[in-house]
Structure 1
Amino acid sequence: MRYVIIGGVAAGMSAAMEIVRSDESAEVTVLERGEVYSYGQCGLPYVIGGVIPSIGDVIARSVETFREKYHIDAKVNTEVTNVDVEKQVVSGIQTETNQPFQVTYDRLLIALGSDPIIPDWEGIDLEGIHTLKTLTDTMDIMKNVKEDVIHVTIIGGGYVGLEMAENFTKLGKEVSLIQRGEQVASIFDQDMAEHIHKEAKNNGVELILGESAQGFSGDKRIDAVITDKQSYQTDLVLLGVGVRPNTSFLKSTGIHMNKQGAIHVNAYMETNVNHIYAAGNCATQYHIIKKVDDYIPLGTTSNKQGRIAGANMAGNTITFKGIVGTSIMKFFNLTLGRTGLTEKEAKRYKLPYEIQTIQANSHAGYYPDGEILNIKLVYHKQTKLLLGGQVIGKKGVDKRVDVLATALYNQMSIHDLLDLDLAYAPPYNGVWDPIQQMARKAKA
């Protein structure tokens, strides 16, 4: 059986390794447009900030390891430009030599991930304007952030924007963040985002909210960002306005995609075209709470979907059970966690809901060095089923978010939270965990 995988990072290599484990006679070819395989993209901001000492620390396995130890034909600098679904042929360009190539497949996995959105703004090609997605992007930023770069402007207040605001600050840069909406971190409700705004201010990050970037000015190199309201002087720009699935080359294949370009897959990671699978940040994910195919590109899901795709390609039946939209990030001294639906999402889906909010201690109140946890739960007004939770604080955020994510996955009600046997000792918790305190207050 000849397996071809397009993309050599999270989903692609999780699939490749699963195929190798499952099919001893497998011929596995991976087509990677870059030069590095299997690296942790989520660690890149911390490489730039110096928290992670070397860029090599985020590389899980080298290309040579895949080739020599696992006998995977791991190709580099191979840009795929077409898939012939009738002849089962993948074709493209070897970018180092500019030579065309063709590879035939019995089973094909599309795992090319997503690319940063680069708006068609005036001055977008000026030097000093960056995106952050790859190791090359990381090295370019590190070369460009020199002593003469005093001020950095970040456009977009999502994961990358917030993490890079912290890491540029660690490098001693003045940082401004422009967000077209009235809050950063739109995956949180406005009332929860206020804690993030306060933390930004406390750490010297200027938030410019309610303004839309429209272009840049400069002579060869960026010197100002132009918004719909005014102009801001700057020495370097990081674009963090979102990502889109890297699937434009598939338009003529008949593969079904959503409006964002994410490939529709079923629970087996199959597309609507025979023998073609998709996984990771170029594919949809079934959302258990929303009960729809969603697009929330995260590394955890990419690895899971890749493993499941590889297993099914090799003949082992495994299904992807879905997501509940769990994520967490560090922002200076705060940890920001969420899972399930926010209040604004519950409104968007026209669900009857109620909320509970609390400020609670991260552990027993009499034990020293406790920190405040800000928690918000959303649950169904009639059924009391938990719909989502948001937690922001300095300690114990990950513990509560993971408990809530597990409860959501198992479709528990807010009252069911009272019955959970959660760990307790004064340095870690109170006898009633904060989320159980909230459950006690919920209406019967």
Structure 2
Amino acid sequence: MDYVIIGGVAAGMSAAMEIIRTDSSANVIVLERGEDYSYGQCGLPYVIGGIVPHIDDVIVRSVDTFRDKYNIHAHIYTEVTKIDIDKQLVIGVHTDTNKTFHIKYDRLLIATGADAIIPNWEGMDLKGIHSLKTLQDAEQIISDLTEDIHQVSIVGGGYIGLEMAESFRMLGKNVRLIQRGEQLAPIFDPDMAALIHEEAQKHGVEVILGESVEGFSGDTHVDTIITDKGSYQTDLVLLAIGVKPNTNFLNYTGIHINNKGAIQVNAYMETSIPNVYAAGDCATHYHIIKQLDDHIPLGTTANKQGRIAGANMAGNPKAFKGIVGTSIVKFFDLTLGRTGITEKEAKQLKLSYEIQVREADHNASYYPGGERLHIKLLFHKESKQLLGGQVIGKAGVDKRIDVLATALYNQMTIYQLLDLDLSYAPPYNGVWDPIQQIARKVK
């Protein structure tokens, strides 16, 4: 059986490893358009900031490891340009030699991930304008961060924008965040995002809201950002305005793609075409709370979907159970966590909901060193089913978010949180966890 995988990072290599575990006679061919395999993209801001000492530290397994240890035919610089569904052929080009290739498959996995969104703004050809998605992107940013770079401007206030704002400040740079919307971190509700704005101000990050970037100017190197409301001097620009699934090469294949550009898959990672699977950032992700297919590209989901795709391709049926939209990020002294849906999403879904908000210490109130947790829970007005949670604080956020994520996965009610047997000792918690304290208030 010839298994061909397009993409050699999270979903692709999770699938490859699952295939060789399941099918001892498998012939696994992986086509990666870049030069690196199986690395942690989420670690790149910490490499740039110097917390992770070397960029090689985020590489989980090298391409040689996959070739020599696991007998996987791992190719680099192989960009797929077309799939012939009728002949079951993958067609592309070796970008280092410009030679074309045709590879036959019995089963195919598309795990091409998502690319950074790069707008067609004026001045995009100037030096000093970066995005951050690959190891090479990180290396270019590090190379450009000379002593002459004083003012850094980040376009986009999502997770990458926030993480990189912290990294640049750690390097002693002046940082400006420009966000088109009216708040940073739009995956949080505005009342919770206010805490993020305060943290940015506390650490000297200039935040500009409600302005849209229109272009850049400079001689050969960027020196000015132009928005719809003004212009700003800068020495370096990072574009962090989101990602889009890398699926353009699938046009005219008949593979169903949704309005976000993500490949539509079922629970078994199957596409609309026989013998073709998809997983990771290029595919849809079933959202348990929304009860619909969503697109929330995260490394955790990509690895899970890749493993499930590999198992199904190799004849061991497994179903992907879905996501609840859990994520967490460090922003200076704060940890920002969320899971489930926000008020904005609840309104879009026309759900009848209630909210409860609470501040509490992350440990027993009498134990020294307690840090305040800001907690917001959403639940269905009639059924009381938990719908979502947002937690921001300096300590104990990850514990509460993971408890809430587990509760959401199991579609528990707000009342059932009271029955959870959660760990307790004064350095870590009170006898009633803060999320249980909220549940006790609900009538």
Other-structure match for 2:364: 364
Other-structure match for 1:38: 38
The superposition leaves residues 372-422 of structure 1 with CA deviations (integer Å, 9 ceiling, x where unpaired) of 000000000000000000000000000000000000000100000000000
State how 1:32-431 maps to structure 2 within 5 Å.
Answer: 32-431=32-431
- Structure 2: how far apart are the matches of 1:126 and 1:209? 24
Other-structure match for 1:19: 19
- Structure 2: how far apart are the matches of 1:258 and 1:74? 30
- Structure 2: how far apart are the matches of 1:86 and 1:92? 16
- Cα deviation, residue 125, structure 1: 1.1
- Structure 2: how far apart are the matches of 1:102 and 1:173? 48
Letter aligned with residue 178 of structure 1: I
- Structure 2: how far apart are the matches of 1:259 and 1:129? 28
- Cα deviation, residue 260, structure 1: 1.1
The superposition leaves residues 223-261 of structure 1 with CA deviations (integer Å, 9 ceiling, x where unpaired) of 010000000000000000110000000011010011111
The superposition leaves residues 52-93 of structure 1 with CA deviations (integer Å, 9 ceiling, x where unpaired) of 000000000011110011000000000110000000000111
- Cα deviation, residue 370, structure 1: 0.4
Letter aligned with residue 353 of structure 1: Y
Other-structure match for 1:434: 434
The superposition leaves residues 169-199 of structure 1 with CA deviations (integer Å, 9 ceiling, x where unpaired) of 0010000000011101000000000000000
Q: Could you say what secondary structure the match of 1:137 adopts?
A: helix
Q: Could you say what secondary structure the match of 2:308 adopts?
A: helix
- Cα deviation, residue 291, structure 1: 0.5
- Structure 2: how far apart are the matches of 1:260 and 1:352? 27
Q: Could you say what secondary structure the match of 1:281 adopts?
A: helix
- Structure 2: how far apart are the matches of 1:89 and 1:344? 44
Paired residue total: 443
- Structure 1: how far apart are the matches of 2:249 and 2:220? 32
Q: Could you say what secondary structure the match of 2:39 adopts?
A: coil
- Structure 1: how far apart are the matches of 2:227 and 2:283? 33
Letter aligned with residue 441 of structure 1: K
- Structure 2: how far apart are the matches of 1:43 and 1:316? 32
The superposition leaves residues 194-239 of structure 1 with CA deviations (integer Å, 9 ceiling, x where unpaired) of 0000000000000000111110011111001000000000000000
- Cα deviation, residue 165, structure 1: 0.2
- Structure 1: how far apart are the matches of 2:159 and 2:313? 32
- Structure 2: how far apart are the matches of 1:31 and 1:188? 37
State the TM-score, normalizing by the size of structure 1: 0.99
- Cα deviation, residue 343, structure 1: 1.1
What RMSD over aligned residues (CA atoms) do the two structures have, in Å? 0.4
- Structure 1: how far apart are the matches of 2:436 and 2:62? 46
Q: Could you say what secondary structure the match of 2:370 adopts?
A: coil
- Structure 2: how far apart are the matches of 1:217 and 1:226? 8
State the TM-score, normalizing by the size of structure 2: 1.00
Q: Could you say what secondary structure the match of 1:223 adopts?
A: strand
Overall identity of the aligned pairs, in %: 70
The superposition leaves residues 285-306 of structure 1 with CA deviations (integer Å, 9 ceiling, x where unpaired) of 0000000000000000000000
- Cα deviation, residue 348, structure 1: 1.2
Letter aligned with residue 54 of structure 1: H
- Cα deviation, residue 115, structure 1: 0.1
- Structure 1: how far apart are the matches of 2:257 and 2:73? 29
- Structure 1: how far apart are the matches of 2:303 and 2:46? 21
- Structure 2: how far apart are the matches of 1:270 and 1:345? 28
Other-structure match for 2:9: 9
- Structure 1: how far apart are the matches of 2:365 and 2:88? 64
- Structure 1: how far apart are the matches of 2:222 and 2:245? 28
Letter aligned with residue 245 of structure 1: P
The superposition leaves residues 262-295 of structure 1 with CA deviations (integer Å, 9 ceiling, x where unpaired) of 0000000000000000000000000000000000
Letter aligned with residue 87 of structure 2: K
Any stretches of 5+ residues in structure 2 without a counterpart?
none
- Structure 1: how far apart are the matches of 2:103 and 2:142? 36
Any stretches of 5+ residues in structure 1 without a counterpart?
none
Q: Could you say what secondary structure the match of 2:282 adopts?
A: coil
- Cα deviation, residue 347, structure 1: 1.1
Letter aligned with residue 201 of structure 1: Q
Q: Could you say what secondary structure the match of 2:222 adopts?
A: coil
- Structure 1: how far apart are the matches of 2:181 and 2:37? 36
